[in-house]
Chains A and B, each alone.
Chain A
Amino acid sequence: MKSFWPTVLCLIIAINTAAQQPPTSYAITNVKVVVTGGKVLEPATVVISDGLISAVGSKVAIPAEAMVIDGKGLVVYPGLIDAFTDIGIQDVSIDGAKQQQFVQGPEQRPATTPWLIAATVFKSEDKRIETWRQSGFTAILSVPQKGIVAGQSSLINLSGEEAAKAVVKPKVALHLSFQSTGGFGTFPSSLMGIIAYVRQLLLDSRRYSKVRAAYEVAPQGLKRPEYDPAAAELAEILEAGLPVTLIASSASEIRRIITLAQEFKIKPIIVGAQQGYEVANELAACKCPAIVNLKWPEKNPNADPEADEPLRILRLRAFAPSTPAALAKAGVKFAFYSGGLSPKEALKKVKKAIDAGLRPEDGINALTIWPAEIFGVASQLGSIEVGKIANLVVTDGELFDEKTKVKMVFVDGRKFEIREAQKSKQPPEVDLSGKWTLTLNTPQGQQDVTLDLKMAPDGTLSGTISSHMGTIPIDEGQVSGTSFSIKANLSSGQRSLTISFYGKVDNKELKGTINFGDLTSEFTGRRPEVER
């Protein structure tokens, strides 16, 4: 009797701990394993222990402590990598001292912060981490993009944990931006000025390490070299052989980067590369990897439909999605990045590249093992092999099939269930098809937004949202009973924000709340008045 209570207590503690602490080991059995694009084991078991993949194969021992997941009908892929983002560092401003009002010359090192490492300023609160993870992305390259010598990118796992735990590789590549600011503001403002500045900076950096070394050996009797932190940091980066990411989309931009990279003696990674189909062989010849922007060029929905468009624009629009196939054929190593799209949209755009000739297995490789190789982490990430980080995505079908759903995601061996999009519990009681004029009460006053909706019999909504700012497509929408929800993604450049509307239909009026990033406001909506 005496020994009873401690046992119960232990049991309670054990249960409690089990409830709070997720398992450290999983075994997904009976599952189709896509080891890398094109290499499949089926059926097989994947065992995860302590954050790593500990076993893969058809006959593997399942550890006693492993939580077993029956993977029948499921497919497990290596976790996807978004190879160029600002996730986690979007709001990081460049060093205040560098935002000089008026730069007198290159020696003031304008917009030059090579010491800025994404991992050191990474914020795990970024809501996009969860959004990306839910679509199967388990790691990102987080890239500082402000300034000319913007900083160093880091490869970070999307576990949602702080940098100390999430960072896989803190220094992946240096990011150089040739984006001209234009105007006559501060040096350098033009493309030729920026290139000239970078040329001078690289000369100075290479000289600085020589001078500094000579001085340190025998300082006595020598004039002390000036302290130049930008040159010093850059010299170290160059000596370490870090590659350099540079944005170039058109064939002539890519050629310019190849030429400059040879002159500057840097290893370039071409970011954007949408006209890569024209220069695939040149990229192969210089062994330059590419990170291809998945946001294929599209006609601006607000453009004048009557306006004539030049042939080169139409060609670029038609042929850009054939770039991945051309790169693969030429033997160029490449990866994909979402380029301001939502991760779901980004995967749809990979499908477009497949339709344009890319082998589906290479579509997988360009999201997994190839970025891992480009970033020098292929022994840690990118395939389902023993000893690698347990970043996995489990789906109920082929990755690029539109009907496929992500069922669960593992990051660093931690399991994340995917919240199913709220499906209609009740059949729709109203038909919202057609146009609605919404009046929003915002801090800037009342604003009008037009919804142009189409409702399927099961209540699924599609269509567009328009305001004076432009028109965007609806990503997700649902009517359930008399309630409705609508979501859309607004992206500009690297930034992306979700707009969502929730509300009810009441006596032919819409009433509800709109969430726009962190902002919330109320709205009412009516059918637009018919012109008489």
Chain B
Amino acid sequence: MRLILLVVLVVTGRVLAQEEIVIRNATILTITSGTIEKGSILIRDGKIAEIGNVKEPPGAQVIDAAGMYVMPGIVDCHSHIAITGGVNEGTLSVTSMAGIEDVIDPDDIDIYRNLAGGVTTANILHGSANPIGGKNAVIKLRWGKQAKELLFEGAPPGIKFALGENPKRSNFPPPSSSPRRYPATRMGVEDVIRQAFVDARKYQQTWQQYRQRKAAGEKVLEPKRDLALEPLVEVLEGKRLVHAHCYRADEILMLIRLAEEFGFKIATFQHVLEGYKVAREIAAHGAGASTFSDWWAFKIEAYDAIPHNAAVMHEYGVLVSINSDSAQEARYLNLEAAKAIKYGGLSETEALKLITINPAKQLGIDRRVGSIEVGKDADLVIYDKHPLSIYAVVQKTLVDGKIYFDRQKDIEARREIEKEKEMLKKQKQ
């Protein structure tokens, strides 16, 4: 009897704890396994539990998406939102000790605005002021949560590199009081990165020797820890992803050669506007490319861009994504992806992959997000029209099965916000 009671308690407890949501009557763009017309998705405890024609469990919250489209939440592979106290630690050539994780600003309204554009995951990168910049943070746009709750659990750590005009400070003259920072040429950029890895290798060996001697029972003093070299050792050991800002073909080849010399792989070339010129080499190295659709000519090194860049690199077997690098553009990445159909003739699914599963793969989080598959996180966007249409408007955005943006509720809340504002203004302050 007691046992039965216990079982009942456990079962009901489990049922009560479960949050179940059904999205029904939707056109489901799974990205990785085709499109389902008038389909439904069952979400349980934040994960996608069933797809197709699911039986609605009693008590489940139902979202009727008749006439609407559901696709995976957009993954923005290059973003600078939600950072407080400066995007760049641009003072030194190597600032790998700095990390975005320390300075996430959960109150940045751009998190919410990006949600309203269907983005659910963003790769928050350090700026491009130096050849080796700071560590990145991959976040989920859980608006309203604390900074540490935004971090994408288990996402592989990464780091920002930068090549070309920005790290050599071509367009940013130093203040008259300070000397010009090295490097000032592309040769210098290469030298800084090579020297950093030479140092990192030496640092790695120092620690390896220390551990060996300690294991052998020797009394040895622990070596000094160097927070700038540790992330680079992780790169050498394949434990940290390199996201390299670049524009020109020559510097892309330079970094590929340098990485291969030291035995690591570049995870993504970012911007990579001349990637179409060296697509074969990028593919052979195994790097991803995260580019703009048609944004260029904002500086000399960005003049040789073509709108077909994403499609050409894709043709050559490069894993390609389209990113925003802009809090504003992140709100219509679906349309940026659509341009790859006009320029380069990608299929609709291939175009949508540029902002979903491809960036998820580039960031090493594709087991969790990037497509609508059973067992993946319920990070979903519901559009009223096909997301590649200029008329498509995001209706709801879900992260971990929780609705973080609801257009209808947002519109309704505006009146309440105005009321509260009026009330607060009237209070004697």
Contacts and interface: CB of A to CB of B under 8 A. Distances in A.
Contacts of A106: 97, 228
Given A180-B85, A191-B103, A252-B146, A104 B92 contact: yes
A314 B102 contact: no
Contacts of B181: 184
Q: Give the secondary structure class of A's interface.
A: helix
19 contacts: A103-B91, A178-B85, A182-B86, A184-B172, A185-B177, A190-B89, A191-B85, A193-B97, A195-B98, A195-B103, A197-B97, A199-B227, A200-B227, A207-B224, A210-B221, A311-B421, A314-B420, A317-B429, A318-B424
Interface string B208-244: 0000000000000110111110000000000000000
B284 to A, nearest CB: 35
Contact of A101 (B90, B178, B417): B178
Contact of B175 (A183, A196, A214, A317): A183
A193 B83 CA distance: 13
Contacts of A207: 222, 224-225
Interface stretch (A38-46, A253-261, A334-342): A253-261
A298 B425 CA distance: 11
**Chain B's interface: helix, strand, loop or mixed, by majority?**
loop
B85 A204 contact: no
A456 interface: no
Nearest to A206: B225
Given A184-B91, A193-B98, A196-B89, A255 B146 contact: yes
A318 B86 contact: no
A195 B102 contact: yes
B257 interface: no
Given A106-B97, A196-B102, A252-B84, 5 more contacts: A101-B179, A188-B89, A190-B103, A191-B85, A196-B134
Given A101-B178, A318-B429, A185 B86 contact: no
Given A105-B92, A193-B91, A203-B225, A252 B85 contact: no
Contacts of A298: 429
Interface of B: 83-92, 95, 97-100, 102-103, 105-107, 109, 126, 129, 134, 146-148, 172, 174-175, 177-179, 181, 221-222, 224-228, 417, 420-421, 424-425, 427, 429
A72 interface: no
A102 interface: yes
Give the top 9 A-B pairs by smallest Cβ distance, nearest first: A191-B85, A190-B86, A193-B89, A187-B91, A196-B97, A314-B424, A192-B98, A184-B90, A180-B85
Contacts of B88: 184, 190
A106 B227 CA distance: 10
A4 B177 CA distance: 79
A188 B147 contact: no
A312 interface: yes
Contacts of A189: 86, 89-91
B105 A314 contact: no
B178 A311 contact: no
Interface in A119-154: none
A276 to B, nearest CB: 15
Contacts of B106: 252
A280 to B, nearest CB: 15
Interface string A251-294: 01001100110000000000000000000000000000000000
Nearest to A255: B146
A190 B427 contact: no
A192 B89 contact: yes
A310 B421 CA distance: 8
B102 A192 contact: yes
A313 B95 CA distance: 34
A252 B105 contact: yes
A299 interface: yes
Nearest to A320: B429
Interface residues of A, number: 48
Nearest to A250: B107
Given A200-B227, A299-B429, A318-B429, A192 B100 contact: yes
A234 B134 CA distance: 26
A211 interface: yes
A155 B351 CA distance: 65
Given A211-B221, A318-B424, A192 B85 contact: yes
A186 interface: yes
Interface in A30-85: none
Contacts of A309: 421
A403 interface: no
A315 interface: yes
A185 B92 contact: no
Contacts of B421: 309, 311, 314
Contacts of B100: 192
A214 to B, nearest CB: 7
A190 B98 contact: yes
A164 B276 CA distance: 74
Contacts of B222: 207
A181 to B, nearest CB: 9
Given A106-B97, A190-B89, A318-B424, A214 B221 contact: yes
A190 B135 CA distance: 14
A523 B92 CA distance: 51
B99 A255 contact: no
Nearest to B90: A184
Contacts of B148: 255, 259
A185 B91 contact: yes
B417 A192 contact: no
B420 A102 contact: no
Contact of A192 (B99, B147, B172, B228): B99
Most chain B C-beta atoms within 10 Å of own C-beta, residue among A106, A180, A193: A193
Contacts of A101: 177-179
A405 B188 CA distance: 69
A190 B89 CA distance: 5
Given A184-B172, A193-B95, A214-B221, A252 B147 contact: yes
A256 B102 contact: yes
A191 B107 contact: no
A180 B86 contact: yes
B91 A186 contact: yes
Interface string A305-344: 0000111101101100000000000000000000000000
Nearest to B83: A192
B85 A196 contact: no
A255 B107 contact: no
B213 to A, nearest CB: 16
